[in-house]
Structure 1
Amino acid sequence: MSAPQQSTPPASLPSMTSPLGTALPAIRDRDYLLDRSGVIFKVIGDVHPGSHWLGYVKYYPDERGDRELFGRTYRQNTVVSKAFGILADRPECYVYSPAIGCVITGVPREDVVTHYSCRRALAALHHSPELLDGSPVSKDLAAIITWVVDAGATDVIGVTGSFLVGVCNARSDIDLVCYGSRGYETAQALFAERSLIQPYEGDTLTRLYIRRAKYMAGSSFDALLQQESRKLQGLTTGAGAHINCEPLRADGDRTLAAVAAQEVGAISVLARVTDHTEGLATPAVYGISVDTVIGSTIDEPTTFARRITQMRSYLGAYTGAFREGDVVYLSGRLVHLHGPGEHSTFGIELTPWSAAESFLANLSR
């Protein structure tokens, strides 16, 4: 069998300049990257191999889409594992990550043409509000950005999602990120500002449940809403649009930099959260102790039960969702984790990089 060939970008590309894009080298988790083929990747994590920036396809040229960018029709992707199919003719975008312990997708570094920084986007939208389309949700975002600027927090709050790359529309959510402990505290203050953001309560709780239950199957109404109430999310006061803020690790945080993972199999358990300190920011790492093994693809799963001490998630769904003492149903990949020196342990990885099924972490009691 011949080796797969590298895909070749078109010889003539439409203009890909954007007032929201930069050529800054400091690429952070949740920033976006545009490659030479016109595909936009969402960066995942802050630990990357030398050849690629890890991430998944967020927007890509497709006539079936409903977004416009660079004079082309774009389609949005919201499922991490679907990036493998979207990139089926670009095998150079499949890369093994020792930090994650499996093959995931990423953009080759030499293919990147534009870097969209979440923090730079917030600053650009503040200085050039005409970049927003004037819709009610855009006006809400403008007011929120003004609050962030007045709070002196532009270095710890950023804008991600559709507003980051200018493919927003009247139905868009507002997606924010915050960095480190100061960013988290600032975001808490922002979400407590009732002139800008209303909490999910009353009838809107059903709306939140429906929104989340799509990928948290099996969770009861009350348990899911208790889990979700711990996150930074709500509804904008003007348009009633969903808004959330994902806490990310501070610049220079090296907690996961020297940790490597090896996939062992799949496992589902009931576990008790023993430490949520590192679970308040993405990638989230919770200390756990396993109470009961429910199912597994490996032989003698109870042998591993007492050795499992962590659950991890690179996606924001479970960041900040659990607290010490919670009992949680977990279903994910069993991974062996080893860090500096001889330290090693086992953990449950909740990120479905290439799996058709959804991995879960549901509050039990």
Structure 2
Amino acid sequence: MRRKFRVFLEGDFVETWDGEIYDVKGFVHPPGKVIAFVKYVPSKEADRFRHGVGYRRVYDLEERFRYLQEVKPQYLVFDEVFGRVMAEIPLDDIKEHYLPEARLQSLRRRKILDRVERCALDFAKKVKEMSGIPWLNMGVSGSILLNTHNEASDIDLVVYGKESCLKAYSILLAMRKKGLTREYEDALLEKLYKVRSKENPVSFELFKILESRKVLEGVYNGREYFIRMLKKIEEVGEAYGDKKYRRIGEARIRGGVVNDDEAIFTPCRYIVKLEKPIHNIKHITVTSFRGRFTEIVRVGEVLEAYGVLEEVSSHKEVCHQLIVGDTKGSFLRPYLLA
């Protein structure tokens, strides 16, 4: 009999029976499978340890695809709904499903925590108490969730539900103004730029400006953090097959941002009125599942982006979106600041 799992959400991780650890992508998954990308693999060249097993982290998207092509080619399938090759893990291959909300509750119950765990719990507690959101609408992800963290690890928090996300975001703005958190500076900013500019090239000057806008990431009590805002599955309102996605090709666009209501969520979305229509498209939704593109442009600004143009069809309508973050060299930025 197949095991039953809680619905798979962004921020979750799954472990296969042979010890590989994958991070879940998105909210919409095919029947009997979960869309996820390899993150950690057992290795003699380990850079972290867990339950006595050494693991190596698989970093960028290109390396992840290469690993799957070489080791688990059966997981790479062309998905007719998404119109592209996806990494899809059969549920029968999953040994464990790691839940951010369960890990945070575990930290709350434990009396002895290490410094990283204590910092994460303290941060979550401050956000929860100042915003009034329920504990069950919060979680801790990343290396803390998997218990692969070390003294240099950052904090990855998750907030669930639109209402809770909006309340928490308001508090994060207030915390930044009070100096309870701070933006990346100096050496941390340069380190982050070296990593991100490899996939999404922008100038350091622009990168610094864009990062200064963000409160979903920064530094808390001397430790880097990122907070992922997720709608609940019933708020997403899409099941596998409700929409069909067709790749048109890579495209570079520019236009005015007319709606940024979902700029803080994962996936983040910006509705743009194009300066020059492409394929007779006048309005487009720029979408990214990468946290680095949250909070990056605002209503009234001109957005410039490069990514994959898709047609999205359902029984109600046909529209278009530009996916940013899945293609080498893709970017999303305010044009007048570029």
Q: Does the alignment reach a TM-score above 0.5? A: yes
In 1, the alpha carbon distance for the partners of 2:146 and 2:184 equals 31
- Once the 2 structures are TM-superposed, how far is the Cα of residue 68 of structure 1 from its aligned partner? 0.6
* Residue 184 of structure 1 pairs with residue 184 of structure 2: no
SS in 1 for 2:164: helix
CA gap 1:201/1:66 in 2 versus in 1, 3 angstroms: closer
RMSD of aligned C-alpha atoms?
Answer: 2.7
Task: Provide structure 2 residue ranges, at least 5 long, that are not aligned to the other structure.
Answer: none
2:314 aligned with 1:331? no
User: What is the number of equivalent residue pairs in this alignment?
Assistant: 326
CA distance 1:196–1:57, shift in 2 (3 Å): farther
Contact 2:216 2:226 in 1 (8 A): yes
Q: Is this contact kept in 2: 1:27–1:117, CA < 8 A?
A: no
C-alpha deviations, 1:150-181, integer Å up to 9, x for none?
54531222111100110000111111111222
Counterpart Cα distance in 1 of 2:174 and 2:121: 17
Residue 364 (str. 1) matches residue 338 (str. 2)? no
Structure 1 counterpart SS, 2:6: coil
Alpha-carbon separation, structure 1, partners of 2:61 and 2:170? 28
Listed as ranges, the matches of 1:302-313 within 5 Å are 303-304=278-279, 306-313=281-288
1:215, distance to aligned residue in structure 2 (A): 3.8
Of 290, 306, 319 in structure 1, the residue corresponding to residue 294 of structure 2 is 319
Which amino acid in structure 2 is aligned with residue 281 of structure 1? F
Structure 1 residue 82 corresponds to structure 2 residue 63:
yes
**CA offsets 1:192-251 (integer angstroms, 9 cap, x no match):** 4479942117657844655654443124624652365134122122xx111110111124
Q: Following the alignment from structure 1 to structure 2, what is the Cα–Cα distance between the partners of residues 73 and 311? A: 39
Per-residue displacement from partner, 1:9-41 (whole Å, max 9, x unpaired)? xxxxxxxxxxxxx97523222111111111111
- Residue by residue, what CA displacement relative to the aligned partner does 1:123-166 show, whole Å, maximum 9, x if unpaired? 11111253x4x23x333223224435654531222111100110
Residue number in structure 2 paired with 1:266:
250
| Alpha carbons 1:200, 1:234 under 8 Å: kept | yes
Listed one character per residue, the Cα deviations across residues 88-121 of structure 1 (whole Å, up to 9, x for unaligned) are: 2322211334554311213211111111111111
CA contact (8 A) 1:31 1:42 kept: yes
Runs of 4+ in 1 over 6 A off after TM superposition: none
More helix by percentage: 2
| Helix, strand or coil at the partner of 2:117 | helix
Say if 2:270 is the partner of 1:286: yes
Q: How far apart, CA to CA, are the structure 2 residues paired with 1:118 and 1:100?
A: 27
> Which of the numbers 76, 92, 116 marks the counterpart of 1:94?
76
Counterpart position of 1:344: 318
Partner of 2:121 in structure 1? 142
Q: Hey, what's the Cα distance between the residues in 2 that align with 1:188 and 1:128?
A: 29
- 1:266 is displaced (CA, Å) by 0.8
Q: State whether structure 2 residue 96 is matched by structure 1 residue 117.
A: no
Structure 1 stretches of 5 or more lacking a match? 1-21, 293-301
Matches within 5 A, 1:172-321: 172-179=153-160, 180-190=162-172, 192-193=174-175, 197-200=180-183, 203=186, 206-207=189-190, 212-219=196-203, 221-222=205-206, 224-226=208-210, 229-237=213-221, 240-257=222-239, 258-292=242-276, 303-304=278-279, 306-321=281-296
Q: Distance in 1 between matches of 2:89 and 2:179?
A: 36
User: 2:107–2:117: 8 Å Cα contact kept in structure 1?
Assistant: no
**For residues 140 and 201 of structure 1, what CA distance do their matches in structure 2 show?**
18
2:36 equivalent in structure 1? 55
Q: Does the 8 A contact of 1:177 with 1:248 survive in 2?
A: yes
Q: Percent identity?
A: 23
